[in-house]
Structure 1
Amino acid sequence: MKIISINSCGSKVFSKRKWIKDLCVTENVQFLALQESKMTRLQLFRLESMWGNNQFDYALSLARGFSGGIISMWNPHSFVKENVWCFNHYLIVKVLWVRENIDVYMINVYAPQRLSDKVCVWNSITNFMASNNGDYILFGDWNSVREESERCGTEFSARDAHFFNDFIERSSLHEVVLGGLKYTWRLKDGSKFSKLDRFFVTNNIMSSLEDLKGKVLPRGFSDHSPIMLFQDKIDFSPTYFKVFDSWFERHDFDSKIHHSRSTEFTHLRDLKQSIIDLDLIIDTGTATAAEIESRHNFFKEQEDLTRLASLYALQKSRVKWDVEGDENSKYFHCYLKRKQKQQHIHGLMINGTWVTDPTTIKDMFFDLFSAKFEQAQSAVFFEPVSPIRSLTADDASLLEADFDGDEIEKAVWDCGSSKSPGPDGVYGIYGVVGVADAGNTVSDVDGTANAGGVDGTADADDADGTDVNACNVSSMKL
């Protein structure tokens, strides 16, 4: 199925009609929609010259004045006309889609310029769709954009976009993503661009035709680019390996891959029959120990196979629900499928050419990310680090050595007399009582030789006759 929609900006010039005919023949079009034909009266030779032969059916809305005019033509072997509704700014044809065997409403739209008139057209289409249930495909020149990025060089009207998006939401329409050029309309001097031409479909069309795609064709004899709706399944090759989690439960997983599941079901049936036969023998009381053991092994193997079969069935049901959904989740599945189609890579624009070949697309993505993540030469220069100064082996061993008496004496006398407060918090004068080493005398603070008496009297013994031990150093406040 291929549908082409073109705002022809007139159909009087023969070269323009020939350009349209070449598009129809080259693309093998089954449905052609023209807007702004400017035909004020029916002229079949014009229609034939645009279609390429006389094997077509048609419906049209004639122009009123110097603008307007809508024409729909189709192949009667692909679409069978059932009814036609003709309005000033849109044309509805109800056809039977022979290939899919469904009824579809084809709406060819040429929207007016004024916002108030466009709102009236959109409301009229919404009311028609509400009163005529079915599948719809809408196409044409909508003269509106949905967001600011769809205009370039022209003023964006947020109010116009709001009403247009509201119409799409109220009618439950889904826009078909268009590949190829970004804009569908261009001023002749190339100073202004807009995306005015679009395809919309309803939920059932979007969900049932998973390979539905849109494309903007090269511009020809009109300031609008033709747009085409078609079905094309792009196969990016299957995933490398797909497996059910339940298969990992099998001890013979590797060998089972090479056998069909029918063998497994046959084995399970044989096991059940063997268990029944052994039960009959056991009931007669003539069973041997080996037969009883075999029955036990058969029963265990049957349980394992049954458990694996249930896991497989559960996995299959989850896969089926994930793909098809149920009556409670149909809405959400349709929404997810629509998001997947919108995010699907339909093709790439390479050097001005729209490419859909999967191999070429994968190669382009591979080259792109390979260039982004390849190792680059660093522009940062690091100066050489100067050697870190470290302790010598002698200094390191000195830090770990024990203190001797001379070091203790030196440390004590280096403290001075007023380095720290006394027990009462008052800075005072401290004298050293005792000696730092055996045989050496420690001088008092006033320089008087004293062997240890606290009263300043030279005395070699304590009051109790015990010698002053030279291994203790202490101080007291004088």
Structure 2
Amino acid sequence: MCIQETKCSVFNKESVFLLWDSNEIEWVENGASNNVGGLITIWRKNCFQMSRFLNGRNFTIIEGLWKNGIEVFVTIVNVYCPGSLGDRKVVWEEISKYRSLQLSKAWCVVGDFNSIRSREEMKSLMFVSDYHREIDGFNAFIEETELVDIPLTGRKFTWYKPNGLVKSRIDRVGEGLLRRIRELDAKDDDFDLNEQEREERRRAKNEIHGVLENGQWCENKEEIKDKVKDFFEARFVDNEELLVKLDNVCFNTISEEDNQMLVEAFSEEEIKEAVWSCESSKSPGPNGFNIGFIKFCWEFIRVDIMATVKDFELSGKWHRGSNVSFLCLIPKNDNLQ
């Protein structure tokens, strides 16, 4: 199993066991940087025996013996390509270089390439000319590495903008209600959905038709509301009991020099270094201004940013709205229960 964009720098074994629902597994992780990217590749011990692995930037290469059926030595590559074309080309070149040394072995490359192979793999109101360079480069990478692009089953596209106006295929490798959802999905692939049908599909996918509690199925709307409310209240209720006691625990202490470094005011160089270490295509909040905008306009907005940081140092509080976020429950199944 190959998972991309984990946004985790480190996985503990309990978390990985929950992903597979078994402890008879092994894995290789490639940690996220500043909560951006991240990869993890998991397999059953009795099906695959790893001999070595390589963690590159935005990819993981694993070599080993496939033992499920006929034994064969294989190479598995898990990829999560960055947003910019230049960075994606670096990933393609590094994988191609490694592939050129391993032509005698079976390869399986899977992941989120953030690229398309043809114009038909993207639906948008406008087609940027740079996409032709991207298409040519991605196809050249596939040809050079002698890979076969496995056809996609199900829907034509794997990534959608929330407004439905842009769609692309960038990831490779109730029966009546479900049928209606599939019909709307198929129609949407050809840009034929109107606003009413979009709303119908959204409601059909998100509607909770009933809940199962203690073996009893309930479809009464008022009871469903109460059970959902009780469920989340139990998750987020404050517990006044002190569950952890630290009596007679000796903690390590830091030096006076380290303490002075931690409490001194942030310098503009430190703040700029923190901003420049972030992925430019990522956005720290819901206002639409990404890190690339902050970098580009740094000379115009740095005074305001420094003033905000200084105010925080003096008061110890962020202004209301500085860290606003939206909480949205995203269903994992078409027929919610």
- Output the TM-score relative to the length of structure 2: 0.49
Higher RCO (CA-CA < 8 Å; seq separation 6+):
2
* TM-score, scaled to structure 1: 0.35
